[in-house]
Structure 1
Amino acid sequence: MPATGLTGARWLKSRRSNSQGNCVEIAELPGGHIAMRNSRHPEGPALIYTRPEIEALILGAKDGDFDHLIASSSN
C-alpha cells in the first residue's frame, strides 16, 4: 500500500535513528494494524502488519534474535 494513502497516520521513529534519516517509521492504524515505511521514502510503500506480528518482531529484537545482522554489517 502506498504510504501516502494512509492519511492521518502519525509516523514515529526510534530515538536511535541516525542523522542521515536511515530508519524505519511506524504508525498505528485504525483497527489495530501497524504500518511501516522507510523514512527516506515517505511517499513510497508501507507494509501493514498485525499487532502479533509486530510483537514477535519487537520481542525477537529484544531477545537478540537479530544481533547477527548488526554484527555482520559492521565488517
Structure 2
Amino acid sequence: MMIKNGVPAGEITGVTWLKARASVGAGECVEVASLPEGGVAMRNSRHPDGPALIFTKAELRAFLTGVKDSEFDDLAA
C-alpha cells in the first residue's frame, strides 16, 4: 500500500508511533512513524485519526537539520 499525504493516520497500520520525551503530556505533541516503504508519517497526537503528513527520509533529515541549527526557534517563542 502506497501511503500518501493527507491519509487518515488511523488508516496507517502496522507502524509504531513515537513522540518526544519532552512532550508535556497534555496532548501537545507531534508523533512520527517509520513507514514500510521508507518514508516517515507525522500526525498530531490530539487528532490521532486526523490526516498524516508523509515525508521522505531526506525531507525529514533536512527539517531536522534546520531544527538543530535553530532556524525555527522564532516559531515557538
Report if TM-score (shorter chain) is over 0.5: yes
User: 1:8 corresponds to which residue?
Assistant: 14
Runs of 4+ in 1 over 4 A off after TM superposition: none
TM-score, normalised to structure 2, is 0.88
Q: Which protein, 1 or 2, shows the higher relative CO under an 8 Å CA cutoff with sep ≥ 6?
A: 2
1:20 match: 26
Partner of 1:42: 48
2:31 aligned with 1:31, yes or no?
A: no
Gaps of 5+ in 2: 1-6
Superposed CA RMSD: 0.7
Structure 1, gaps ≥5 residues long: none
**2:66 aligned to which of 41, 55, 60:** 60
**Identical-residue share of aligned pairs (%):** 56
Give a deviation string over 1:26-45, Cα, whole Å, max 9, x none. Answer: 00001210000000110111
Corresponding letter in the other structure for 2:53 = L
CA distance in structure 2 between the partners assigned to 1:19 and 1:2 by the alignment: 23
Given the alignment of the two structures, is residue 51 of structure 1 paired with residue 60 of structure 2, yes or no?
A: no
TM score, norm. by length of structure 1: 0.90
Q: Secondary structure at the residue paired with 1:37? A: strand
